[in-house]
Chain A
Amino acid sequence: MCALCGVLGGAEHWTDAHDRPGAFTRNTGPIERRRERARRVILANRILRHFGLSLGDWQGSTFILSTPTGKTELVDNLAHLWGAAERLVGRPIDPLDQDFLDRLDMRLDLHP
């Protein structure tokens, strides 16, 4: 339960599926979960820097999305990340945008 709002549990996102028979998830234990979150932050930042944003993990429970001027939003999971990022930069963040993809191509650095 969230201590602040009293909401029981959170909506399960497919990238953080609960560990149960038949499901595929990296959410299989504390170490695996933290490792996946750390890697997600690294890769997300390599995308988000094209929009002047950065993402950080806060105690393994939420993510902090920030602009260079200090505006921040808390995001629970990837379902909320991109909407929050668009609000902070004030424009669409489109993975099909040609200019963005050209910049991404030039860096070719998504794989650590």
Chain B
Amino acid sequence: MSTNLDSIPVFLLTGFLGSGKTTLLARLLKNSAFHDSAVLINEFGEVGLDHHLLGRIDDTMVLLSSGCLCCTIRGELAFAIRELYSKRERGLIPRFRRLIVETSGLADPLPAIATIAADKVLKHHFRIGAVIATIDAVNGRKTLLQQPESLKQAAIADRLVLTKTDLCDQRTVMDVIDAVRIINPDSPLYDACDDRLDLADVLVEQSTPIQLPSGISCAEVPPGMLHGRSTSSFSLLIDRPVDWTLFGLWLTMLLNRHGENILRVKGLLNVEGTDRPVALHGVQQLVYPPTHLSMWPDDDRRSRLIFILRGVASTSISRSLHAFGLLDDGNPPGNARQRMASGQDILFS
């Protein structure tokens, strides 16, 4: 996501309570390929337990147990990471090459991302590698419906790991996958119980090109998920090269007013004046420095944008892009409006 290649990638491991974060972390740490990882664990509660479950306690493991990462201890997070880095540079601990932060199950991952991306010291030494979310196959669908924290964790994840698939039938697993795909249509999804799972695929930095269905599209809506305040994913293609200056004005304007409800924006843009694609990633008001990729993933040179929205209609986004001159006449707002009329935008309450 970020582009300071000399810095240390931070992988944020998130997921709702009991979704298998610590189990996944334990598997990662047992893998010799990840032995050079520092770990920071945040637990909600006064007595931390997760670090005991990992079977490894050393100086590269830090426990933050004084509250939930997103609401009370952002300063402590920055301090803990600075301390780790300081010890690393002084040779007091091994020179870890990545940092894994396991958040509490109740945490909104965004403040941790913002802390790492914006802290005056951390931003020069660390970069966000990827957000990895675990989703419990047994309870995942219900949790996504009832717990807004879970929904947001899944929505902004760069990698999704489905856990406990061995404890339920295939139908339940498919239902969870369907529910997850509505709010996060393109991030790679892995089955933690699949013997073929290569953990190196999970703990890898975000660089996957965005794959979109053709045309302006909205996710399908499973029956029974039509409620008032909705979370939905929305993708679109832009035929002509994007005016970067104008796009910057539009997106900053949108995020200023609606950032709380733009859970995620991802884009692979054909920017006017450059032959190579520009990758854009944003989480609510926070947009990472855009990345200039070396080549297009395929012959399609159209810009691709994905929005994960909460209570914002996709038609209003495409209408606005059109009015700003960023969507051409080949993608009139009426197309999106017509699709909206079929109710494809309203997903979760």
Contact = CB atoms under 8 A, between A and B. Distances in A.
A, B in one complex = yes
Interface of A: 8-9, 11-12, 14-15, 17-18, 20-26, 36, 39-40, 43-44, 47, 78-79, 81-83, 86, 92-96, 98, 101-102, 104-105, 108, 110-111
Nearest to B313: A96
A105 to B, nearest CB: 5
Given A15-B248, A43-B245, A96-B312, A24 B291 contact: yes
Contacts of A110: 246, 324-325
B278 interface: yes
Contacts of B193: none
A28 to B, nearest CB: 11
A39 B5 CA distance: 30
Contact of A95 (B4, B257, B280, B287): B257
B249 A40 contact: yes
Given A14-B288, A17-B290, A95-B324, 14 more contacts: A14-B248, A21-B5, A23-B291, A23-B292, A26-B244, A40-B248, A43-B246, A78-B249, A81-B252, A82-B253, A86-B256, A95-B250, A95-B253, A101-B323
A22 B3 contact: yes
Contact of A78 (B252, B282, B290, B319): B252
Nearest to B118: A11
Interface of B: 3-5, 118, 120, 123, 243-246, 248-250, 252-254, 256-258, 271, 274, 278, 280, 282, 287-292, 312, 316-317, 319-320, 323-325
A39 B245 contact: yes
B290 A82 contact: no
A12 B289 contact: yes
19 contacts: A8-B120, A14-B248, A14-B288, A15-B248, A17-B289, A17-B290, A21-B3, A23-B290, A24-B291, A25-B289, A40-B249, A43-B245, A43-B249, A47-B249, A81-B252, A82-B257, A94-B257, A96-B319, A111-B243
B287 A40 contact: no
Kindly name the residue among B3, B250, B316, B323 whose own CB sees the greatest number of chain A CB atoms within 10 A. Answer: B323
A81 B253 CA distance: 8
A25 B120 contact: no
Nearest to A100: B323
Most buried by A among B5, B253, B282: B253
Contacts of A18: 289
Highest count of chain A CB atoms <10 Å: which of B123, B252, B254, B317 = B252
A22 B291 contact: yes
Contacts of A22: 3, 5, 291-292
Given A15-B248, A40-B249, A79-B252, A108 B290 contact: no
A45 B128 CA distance: 34
B318 to A, nearest CB: 10
A82 B118 CA distance: 20
B292 A24 contact: yes
Contact of A14 (B246, B253, B289): B289
A105 B327 CA distance: 12
Contacts of B254: 95-96
Contacts of B253: 47, 82, 93, 95
Nearest to A77: B252
A83 B195 CA distance: 51
Q: By CB atoms of chain A within 10 A, which of B243, B244, B249, B317 has the most?
A: B249
A67 B287 CA distance: 29
Contacts of A43: 245-246, 249
Contacts of A101: 319-320, 323
B62 to A, nearest CB: 26
B120 A82 contact: no
B248 A78 contact: yes
